[in-house]
Amino acid sequence: MEIFLQEGLVLLKAALWAVALSLVMALVAGFLTYLERKVAGHMQARLGPNRVGPYGLLQFVADGVKLFLKEDLIPSDADAPLFRFGPYLVFVGSFAVFAVLPFGERIVATDLNIGLFYVLAITSIETVGLLMAGWASNNKWALLGAMRSAAQSISYEIPVGVSFLIPIVLAGSMSLQGIIHAQAGGFGLLGWNVFHNPFSLAAFFVGCTAMVAEINRTPFDLPEAESELVAGYNTEYSGMRFAFFFLAEYANIFVISMIAAAIFLGGWQLPSPFKDILPFGLVGSFVLLAKAAVLVFIVLWLRWTLPRVRVDQLMEVCWKYLTPMALVCLMGTAVWMWAFPGRIFFGLFGTA
């Protein structure tokens, strides 16, 4: 009996988490679509959306309702089951990453001991979803867009994976919470992995560049290069299925920002006097979300600053620059840990 009660509790808690996370994902992705248009507007001396709700804040709700009211088209030559399956895979994949995102010191759905590795694996599932969608559409643009997108995502997964290794080496753990715990000290700032040593600083930039490319964002948005490929893999999609790709894309921006903030920028670490002002370490949660928000803004900013790269440059950047650089950072960090065991860069000069 007791066993059943225990298992029931586990199930209930998991179900609650799942509902909460789906709300978070929908809100975050929706809000990001609004934010992107607002940021774009202001960068081009426009106002951006400002009609629905205060400051146009409810624009994404209106967009969502509109997508529900659209006709759900499946082209007659498309492979219908696969055409339906592709968006699901992308949606479920991008949602699944939320399960291991740490939202605070005690706020995480499931802190897998292989957290970062899991993130990497789930991302590659999304790639398969894109491929299926592009192929099933039976459209030249969609097929080419999907192939390009997949080729790009998988190539950049290598530097992303290698740069993930640096926080893992420093923490001796793959769990996201474990990595954040390892960044304690230094007034909640110098303990960050990014300040640990010169190599980890470089790895932060390598990793962030590679992650932006992996989720196909500008300046690496070749799969959706509208001047060449119409809209890439989602050319034939409409209504909710189209919305799934969009949701996943914006959710991914949030996910990479959260992960970068957690594994390189100290996560929810705070100087100890501030830690217990609010219950559940909520101050830390706000700090983490603020760091992620800054990174999200940078990702949006990039779009209006950098021109799109060419496809040959894209592959060159990945294989000839980012991958070797990430490997050098990894070995450099390993050497650092051997040469100065347990010391951070700023700790070399004093006794901190």
What is the distance between the alpha carbons of residues 169 and 341, in angstroms, rounded to a whole number? 12
Judged by CB under 8 A, the chain residues 145 through 204 that form the site for another protein are 147, 150-151, 154-155, 157-158, 161-162, 165, 168-169, 172-174
Of 1 and 45, the one with the shorter C-beta distance to another protein is 1
Among 212, 207, 198, which residue's Cα sits nearest to residue 331? 198
Rounded to a whole number of angstroms, the minimum distance from the CB of residue 343 to another protein is 13
Place of tokens 């949660």: 285
309 binds another protein (CB under 8 A): no
Chosen residue from 81, 290, 304, 306 binding another protein by CB under 8 A? 81
Judged by CB under 8 A, the chain residues 213 through 252 that form the site for another protein are 230, 235-236, 239-241, 243-244
96 binds another protein (CB under 8 A): yes
CB 270 within 8 A of CB 289: no
- Over 204-244, what HEC string results? HHHHHHHHHHHCCCCCCCHHHCHHHHCCHHHCCCCHHHHHH
Provide the CA 18 distance to its chain's centre, in angstroms. Answer: 18
Chosen residue from 35, 102, 103, 139 binding another protein by CB under 8 A? 139
Rounded to a whole number of angstroms, the minimum distance from the CB of residue 145 to another protein is 12
The helix (H) or strand (E) run that includes residue 107 is none
Rounded to a whole number of angstroms, the minimum distance from the CB of residue 276 to another protein is 27
What is the distance between the alpha carbons of residues 190 and 188, in angstroms, rounded to a whole number? 6
Beta strands in 8-98 (DSSP E): none
340 binds another protein (CB under 8 A): no
Chosen residue from 41, 111, 286, 345 binding another protein by CB under 8 A? 111
Among 153, 150, 176, which residue's Cα sits nearest to residue 164? 176
Chosen residue from 33, 59, 137, 216 binding another protein by CB under 8 A? 137
141 binds another protein (CB under 8 A): yes
Task: Please identify, among the stretches 7-15, 205-213, 268-276, 297-305, the one whose residues bind another protein according to the rule CB under 8 A.
Answer: 7-15
Judged by CB under 8 A, the chain residues 25 through 64 that form the site for another protein are none
As to burial, measured by CB atoms within 10 angstroms (0-12 exposed, 13-18 middle, 19+ buried), residue 62 is middle
Among 201, 210, 227, 230, which residue's Cα sits nearest to residue 329? 201
Rounded to a whole number of angstroms, the minimum distance from the CB of residue 292 to another protein is 20
Chosen residue from 58, 112, 190, 309 binding another protein by CB under 8 A? 112
Rounded to a whole number of angstroms, the minimum distance from the CB of residue 306 to another protein is 19
Judged by CB under 8 A, the chain residues 249 through 308 that form the site for another protein are none
